[in-house]
């Protein structure tokens, strides 16, 4: 049976020595006698931060989430466009058939501007994130059209509102919504950390498996903090709705890691379950 995988690449992986091995592993899943249906979602936070600083912009992050004013949004669009081109080039070299997209492409990711809200670990007052959106829809027909034709969509984490205006969206949130919309067998979140750690930053404290309620408790206790909070919170919501088979938080991968994950033989990262 053909499996559907959503793979999210964090921006830090684009600067990792393991990037090419990761792309080779992804490409290998999409070819052969029983190719998987793979959608890639990528962020670009580190690259956007570096460009903001070069341009003299103040970088504002609250609770692991970027506050995006108009100037920061322009930087995000530039950074994500460059990374998307590089990602597609790397996938072509690895043997895949990528199609580069962002959320404004036929509004494949539909969004609305996020109202101010209280954020976990950031006090009682609502935070205004500026030109940041919440996902309200996924153009499943477009993604399935590409997948059915044997292509690998590579999706940058922007969204479009009903007027077509771009909104910055957390890449993990986009990946979770795409996984739910396509009822994916696996959602794989690739990060520089490589899993949930009980005693950060000690990699030996990796937690192999977490239930959704256990993960929520670790957020309340402050064990899960910073940029890992939105990643885990988005995953908890999707798991509780029951439309995604499993969610895996992994670090840089060997060429053979993804096939090992699908066969249940990979001892790496953290798997989240309902």
The confidence band for 2, taking pLDDT boundaries of 50, 70 and 90, is confident
Label the pairing between strands 186-190 and 246-250. Answer: parallel
SS3 (DSSP) at 18: coil
Question: What does the pLDDT average to over 241-267?
Answer: 82
Claim: this prediction has a pTM higher than 0.85: yes
* Lowest mean pLDDT segment, chosen from 6-20, 25-39, 115-129: 115-129
Question: What does the pLDDT average to over 240-263?
Answer: 82
Domain boundaries of the chain, sorted by first residue: 4-273
The residues pairing with 66 across neighbouring beta strands, listed in sequence order, are 61
Closest among 27, 31, 147 to 94, alpha carbons compared: 27
The CATH architecture to which 4-273 belongs is: 3-Layer(aba) Sandwich (3.40)
SS3 (DSSP) at 257: helix
d(CA 5, CA 10): 16
Q: Classify residue 226 as left (phi > 0), alpha (psi -120 to 50) or beta.
A: left
Closest among 270, 262, 265 to 3, alpha carbons compared: 262
What pLDDT, on a 0 to 100 scale, did the predictor assign at position 109?
98
Give DSSP secondary structure letters for 184-231. Answer: -SEEEEE-SS-S-BSSTT-GGGB-SEEEHHHHHHHHHHTSS-TTHHHH
Question: Residues 127, 13: contact at Cβ < 8 Å?
Answer: no
Q: What is the pLDDT of residues 151-193, one digit of tens each?
A: 999 999 999 999 999 999 989 899 999 999 999 999 999 987 7
Task: Say yes or no to pLDDT of 131 above 80.
Answer: yes
Closest among 197, 196, 179, 180 to 188, alpha carbons compared: 179
268 against 131, higher pLDDT:
131
For 142, the token pair is 């477009």
d(CA 267, CA 270): 9
Within 116-157, strands assigned E span 133-138, 152-156
What pLDDT, on a 0 to 100 scale, did the predictor assign at position 121?
67
Question: Residues 70, 125: contact at Cβ < 8 Å?
Answer: no
For 71, the token pair is 């100037």
């Amino acid at each position: 049976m053909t499996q559907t995988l959503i793979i999210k690449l964090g921006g830090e992986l684009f600067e990792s020595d393991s990037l090419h091995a990761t792309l080779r592993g992804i490409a290998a899943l999409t070819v052969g006698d029983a190719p998987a249906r793979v959608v890639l979602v990528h962020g670009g936070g580190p690259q956007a931060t570096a460009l903001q600083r070069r341009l003299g912009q103040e970088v504002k992050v609250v609770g692991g989430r970027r506050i995006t004013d108009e100037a920061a949004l322009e930087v995000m669009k530039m950074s994500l466009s460059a990374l998307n081109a590089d990602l597609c080039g790397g996938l072509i070299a690895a043997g895949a058939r990528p199609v580069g997209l962002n959320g404004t492409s036929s509004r494949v990711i539909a969004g609305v501007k996020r109202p101010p809200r209280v954020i976990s670990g950031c006090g009682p007052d609502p935070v205004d994130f500026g030109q940041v959106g919440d996902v309200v829809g996924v153009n499943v027909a477009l993604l399935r059209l590409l997948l059915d034709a044997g292509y690998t969509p590579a999706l940058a984490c922007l969204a479009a509102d009903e007027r077509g205006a771009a909104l910055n969206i957390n890449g993990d949130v986009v990946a979770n919504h795409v996984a739910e919309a396509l009822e994916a067998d696996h959602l794989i979140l690739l990060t520089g950390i490589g899993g949930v750690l009980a005693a950060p930053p000690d990699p030996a404290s990796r937690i192999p498996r977490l239930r959704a309620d256990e993960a929520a408790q670790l957020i309340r206790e402050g064990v899960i903090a910073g940029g890992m909070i939105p990643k885990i919170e988005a995953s908890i919501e999707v798991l509780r709705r029951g439309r995604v088979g499993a969610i895996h938080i992994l670090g840089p991968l060997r060429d053979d890691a993804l096939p090992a994950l699908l066969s249940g033989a990979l001892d790496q990262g953290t798997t989240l379950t309902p």
